[in-house]
Structure 1
Amino acid sequence: MELKIRKARKEDAQATVPLIMEAIGDISMQMTGETEERAITKEFVHLFSRTDNRHSYLHTYVAEMEGKVAGALVFYTSEQAVTLDANLEKYLSNKKGTSIKIDRETLPGEWYIDTVVVDPTYRGHGIGTKLLTHAEQLVKNASGGKLSLNVETEKEAAIRLYNRLGFVTVCPWTIIGEPFHHMVKTVDVD
């Protein structure tokens, strides 16, 4: 089966949003201001179609296999995160009528893997690794730098994968009150 990684398009929302929601779990409530799954999904589809927030199609890559979305990578710089999250905070605050604060997920100067996820149907084909390698190549193409991600402390298999790919834990992190490891890989230009 041939795998193709490409920039996401607005029309990828229906296939991509449920994957992102699965990957980020309860964080999806914070990112949408909703608590019911149908409302979260609807709001995520709306945010994916916009251009001004971290879950926009503009910051998403899809892994396509057999003409279907098999996985997704949400990826941006820490500098972009500041603006993207400020936009999302403003949008959610206006929507809810109360001040909303999005937890910071990256350190200054990093390229950030917000989400990497593979559809259960396509797991076991190395798609997650290929998406992570794609992110690394994007950093290389931009003169190198630090590539980072956060992983829940109990996701031991994911931590082993990230370690195998050269990521090291640099500090503990907290997102919506939950413990994470902040992992970084330095990407040099060849």
Structure 2
Amino acid sequence: MRTIVVRPACETDFNFAFDRIISAGGGLIERLLGGGRQEMARKVMQVLWTAEPNPFYYQASLIAELNGTPAGLLTSFDVGTSSCADLPLSLLIRAGGIKLVAYHCLHPLLGIQSQRLTARTSDEWYINFIATAPCYQGLGVGNVLMQEASHQARQAGIPKCSLFVEPSNTRAIQLYQKHGFVEQYYLKKPVPFIKMTAATI
């Protein structure tokens, strides 16, 4: 019998969370945090994981465990009021140094898109990352995490959830549609993403 339990993430979940975030990011995370290199992105995210609130902060994340083993990750927050929606330049410098900031300056579309991914609205609970480990896909982990995100939004009195997904990730899109998400608009550059939203109340 499979038992899925959702718990708050902790500092020691970093390696599991990083692998899930990389798999869900469509290459954007390597560019945003690592100047195009995954190993650099790992070092930067390791700082962000335990720094003050930011989009990669562990205290905004939940871990789904299947029979006691980490199987899925959910990072979400109230995009209108949470400081997790911000990635301040000072924090990016602390985590990645001047080389990473210089990379961002040379790739302005990257900054524009990352800002649009967490654009502040007063009525959205933003699902920043949701991902299931490959060996646990198809076992209901994603469904449980989607239900948890909707529950968090309702508890906060927020009428809808939003997320971004790569157009090529048809499996994830089918999961989101199953939970009532519909396409709102399309971002093309530097990485293509579809914004989807669903009512929670």
TM-score (norm 2): 0.82
Q: Percent identity?
A: 26
**Structure 1 counterpart of 2:115, from 69, 82, 103:** 103
- The answer for unaligned runs of 5 or more in structure 2 is 105-110
- Counterpart of 2:40 in structure 1 is 39
Q: Is the 8 A contact 1:171 1:181 kept in 2?
A: yes
Matches within 5 A, 1:108-119: 108-109=121-122, 110-119=124-133
Q: Is the 8 A contact 2:26 2:166 kept in 1?
A: no
Q: Give the distance between the partners of 1:81 and 1:92, measured in 2 at CA.
A: 18
Q: Give the distance between the partners of 1:155 and 1:77, measured in 2 at CA.
A: 25
Shift of 1:85: 2.4
Alignment RMSD = 2.1
Q: Deviations over 1:5-45 (max 9, x none)?
A: 01111111122211111111311123324433222222222
Task: Considering fraction of residues, name the structure with more strand.
Answer: 1
Q: Is the alpha carbon distance of 1:16 and 1:106 closer, same or farther for their aligned partners in structure 2, counting shifts above 3 Å? A: closer
The answer as to 2:181 corresponding to 1:179 is no
Shift of 1:46: 2.1
Q: Give the distance between the partners of 1:152 and 1:169, measured in 2 at CA.
A: 12
Q: Is the alpha carbon distance of 1:93 and 1:38 closer, same or farther for their aligned partners in structure 2, counting shifts above 3 Å? A: closer
Q: Deviations over 1:48-101 (max 9, x none)?
A: 1223211110111110123221110110122246664242x3322462264643
Aligned partner of 2:191: which letter? E
Shift of 1:171: 1.5
Deviates further, 12-21 or 42-51 = 42-51
Q: Is the alpha carbon distance of 1:82 and 1:105 closer, same or farther for their aligned partners in structure 2, counting shifts above 3 Å? A: farther
Q: Is the 8 A contact 2:72 2:130 kept in 1?
A: yes
Q: Is the alpha carbon distance of 1:74 and 1:148 closer, same or farther for their aligned partners in structure 2, counting shifts above 3 Å? A: same
Q: Deviations over 1:156-183 (max 9, x none)?
A: 2222221121011111224x52222111
Q: Is the 8 A contact 2:126 2:161 kept in 1?
A: yes
- Counterpart of 1:141 in structure 2 is 155
Q: How many residues align?
A: 186
- Counterpart of 1:2 in structure 2 is 3
TM-score (norm 1): 0.86
- The answer for unaligned runs of 5 or more in structure 1 is none
Q: Give the distance between the partners of 1:179 and 1:15, measured in 2 at CA.
A: 25
Aligned partner of 2:11: which letter? K
